[in-house]
Structure 1
């Protein structure tokens, strides 16, 4: 069951050949890959898509190289599976979306045809109208609610900034500095389990990809974790 008007990000692993074919079709039609998948899933019965061929994950030899944009490894190359990044309503499986994209490619080449009945068209129109109305309703929400959300987010940022440690000018070089960065008292002697627990909590806050993240704090948090771990082990 999907929620009209609400979308989430889907990462669809696939071969580089399949990815390139989907992107090329989307470009020719003046849409994006999510539009292709959504169009198929609006028209074609779910059972038909479920029974369709899945192009599957990429083979082990098919990898792409990207450069990391944040974190301790920022700027370093990383090999990963080729993928498509789509935004669709929640509730779809990765395989369902991938099959829908395969069906869109096969429709375009004429490898598969579908008999469309009036009931199918009416159902698709009804679903599209319902989604459009839900989206319009969400966009028409009073601006004051959005303003309040922004104000609340700013308050949370200020709270995190006030409670978080001040980055050390020279970086983390001593055991006591590592304790400070990790939020332990100067006299504390935490074990490895306590250190890992504290690190997970702080990393979720300070990671550059979070709403309150800080690259400098995350770098020093990693350095503190490494120093304390080496000191204990």
Structure 2
């Protein structure tokens, strides 16, 4: 039974959803799907009665029929739903071809896995870090996947190399300061060897610099010599 609209005008401040006319409530329920409509019907007796109204379901069926009639011409053709464009629609031939393909892939993979080298040989060739593997005492072989990840091992080795370089740099700087602070004539054989090698390096660098300067001077004098030779040949040709 429809509610009077005069009630809405008389008390607008106290109006609620249940004060709406049945026609408006049915129109609102028309936009709900089946699950939401069933959940709404469990809230109250009035909504349950309206959700079971034949007019509501007749409108829903009419709307669904119109929507399906509108969407059916827009669906893609069947050839676009089949392989190789898509895998939505598979025929028996497609299913058999896929099974045959995966069986061939399985056979090829099993053959390649049987020819792969052992894990111990890869570790001996430094292709896989030994930290990534674990030695199995039962089989006597290395097992992959039970150790540290390869990226962590590489990062660990990089940090260790940097620490070693820093330690060697500090040690060499301290050693050089100790050697330079000692007076001449003191120190062991290592100090004498270091000073002698330093003198040799300085002498070699000085001789290399002298050779470079000499070559530059010769390169600058060569154009003048060529010019003199050309002039001499010119005058000799005239005199002849």
Greater per-residue strand proportion: 1
The answer to whether the superposition gives a TM-score over 0.5 is no
Where on the TM-score scale, by shorter chain, does this alignment land: which range? under 0.3
If the length of structure 1 is used for normalisation, what is the TM-score?
A: 0.24
Bigger relative CO (Cα 8 Å, ≥ 6 apart)? 1
Which of the pair has more CA radius of gyration? 2
